[in-house]
Structure formats: C-alpha cells, structure tokens
C-alpha cells in the first residue's frame, strides 16, 4: 500500500444519491496517482453505490465502517465481513472510537472482527485512541497499547503486512482540536515499537501504515503528514465535501 494513505470516513453521511454526486465531482478533480493510496469508507447503505462509481478507478479503495464479530447469524441490522467483501470492499475499520464509546464495542470484539476481516480478504484499519480523561491521567500509552494488543491477538506473524493502524485520540475527533504533529509522532512511535514486538520484525513493523485521525482538515494535513512516523490520515468531516477532499488527498 503506497504512502501516504488517505482514508475518508463518511460516518453517517452521504446516502446513495449524495454519494453519486460526490464521486462525480471528486473523480473529475482527482486524477489517478501512483504515489499514494486513497480509501473511501461510506455508510453501509452506500457501499454498493460507491463500488459502482469506482469501477474504473482501481487506484481508489473501498472500505466499510464496521463488520460484525460473527460470520453470520440472526443479527438484524448488521453485515458480515464476507458480505462486505462481496459488495466490493477491501478495507474494514476495526474498533473506531465511536464503535467503542457510543456502541460499547469491547476489546474482545475488535479481536474477533480483525480475525474475520483477514479471513475474508479485508485489510483491517485497527483504530486506537485515548479519551481526554485517560490523557489527563497520563494513561495514553497504556490505553492505546491495550487496544492494539487486544485487536491483534489473533493475527499471525505473517499477516501483519496486511494490516493498517490508526491513532485517533478521542478528544480530538469532531472537536476541532487535534493532536500536534509532535503528539502524533510520539504516539505513533509507541505503536510502531509495539508492532515490532508483536510481529517479531522491525522491518515488517516499519512497513505497516500508521494513520493519524482526529479533526484533520486541509490546513493541518500537511503538518501532520510531515510528522515522524505518520504514514497517512483518517479523515472525517473534511472528507465530506468532494472539492475539499480532492485538495486534501493531493497534499
């Protein structure tokens, strides 16, 4: 996966009609490049619409915001990893802060989801991050390492090259307040070191993209990307406007 990586998490925005309009504008502005990776992660109801719109743009990957922790069953309103792949997705967000803190997703569930993503040829973006209380208590590293270790517990050494990680401090998501480049660099270094321990190879760990997420916008993107160890950006609100997004991914 080429770096930098730019991932657009639309959250609960852009139904099929808006998704088609977004793609018309975005694809007319963003021409194919080979020096970066762009990922669009729409809400579930728009996944097949975006898949169809990207049919001729194999340079842009499609992701899903969530998968269920079981492969199939009576789980109304949910979608499995296999379904996501069948719909055209090749990426899956795992353990996003809103899944953890709004929907109560546990560390154990992230492990199950990570395993199912890999089993169904989806590259997981494993999200970790601390709340403001955890940050103020000085437990940032303890928190993000616990989350990372839990999610990656079922991942074998030869599978680490298939994953991505996103550091997204909860206090910076949707607040307009983002970590400084130095903050991001510090926590990315912690995560990179742990990846090296987990997979048993600093070389493999160096190849795992670690993204920063949290109030990223066009004005701070370049500074964050320039920070040591920041391999890309996981973007929420600033990815919803096609013109803004095309400018940002061209940073």
pLDDT digits (tens, 9 = 90+) for 145-164: 999 999 999 999 999 999 99
The backbone torsions φ and ψ at residue 7, rounded to the nearest 5 degrees and listed phi first, read -115, 125
SS3 assignment, position 124: strand
At 159 the pLDDT is: 97
Would you state the pLDDT for residue 175?
77
Q: How far is CA 2 from CA 5, 25, 61, 159, 227, in A?
A: 7, 24, 12, 18, 17
| pLDDT attached to residue 176 | 76
Query: Pairing between strand 232-235 and 5-9?
Result: parallel
Cα dist. 123→22, 35, 63, 93, 198 in Å? 24, 19, 9, 9, 18
Q: Which helix (H) or strand (E) holds 28?
A: helix 16-29
Domain encompassing residue 37: 5-248
Any idea what the CATH number is for the domain that residue 234 is in? 3.20.20.70
CA distance 187 to 122: 25
pLDDT of residue 173: 81
Amino acid 36: pLDDT:
97
How many domains are contained in the chain?
1
Rounded to whole angstroms, the Cα distance separating 6 from 93 reads 13
Average pLDDT, integer, range 32-39: 96
Q: Mean per-residue pLDDT for 205-225?
A: 95
Task: State the catalytic residues.
Answer: 96, 168
Confidence of residue 172 (pLDDT cuts 50, 70, 90): confident
pLDDT at residue 20, rounded to an integer = 98
- For residue 190, the tally of other CB atoms under 10 A from its CB is 16
The fraction of the chain above a pLDDT of 70, given in percent, is 100
């Amino acid at each position: 996966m080429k770096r930098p990586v730019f991932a657009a998490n639309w959250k609960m925005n852009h139904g099929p009609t808006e998704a088609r309009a977004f793609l018309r504008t975005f694809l007319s502005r963003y021409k194919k490049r080979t020096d970066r990776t762009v990922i669009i992660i729409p809400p579930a109801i728009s996944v097949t619409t975006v898949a169809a719109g990207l049919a001729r743009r194999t340079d842009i990957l499609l992701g899903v915001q969530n998968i269920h922790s079981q492969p199939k069953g009576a789980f109304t309103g949910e979608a499995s990893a296999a379904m996501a792949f069948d719909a055209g997705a090749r990426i899956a967000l795992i353990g996003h802060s809103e899944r953890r803190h709004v929907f109560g997703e546990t560390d154990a569930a992230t492990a199950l989801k990570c395993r199912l993503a890999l089993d169904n040829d989806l590259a997981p973006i494993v999200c970790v991050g601390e709340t403001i209380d955890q940050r103020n208590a000085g437990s940032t590293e303890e928190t993000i390492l616990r989350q990372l270790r839990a999610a990656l517990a079922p991942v074998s050494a030869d599978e680490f090259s298939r994953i991505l990680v996103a550091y997204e401090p909860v206090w910076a998501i949707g607040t307009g307040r983002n970590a400084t480049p130095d903050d991001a660099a510090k926590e990315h270094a912690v995560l990179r070191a742990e990846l090296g321990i987990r997979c048993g190879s600093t070389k493999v760990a160096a190849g795992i993209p670690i993204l920063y997420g949290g109030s990223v916008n066009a004005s701070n993107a370049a500074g964050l990307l320039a920070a040591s160890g920041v391999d890309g950006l996981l973007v929420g609100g600033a990815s919803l406007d096609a013109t803004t997004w095309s400018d940002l991914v061209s940073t």
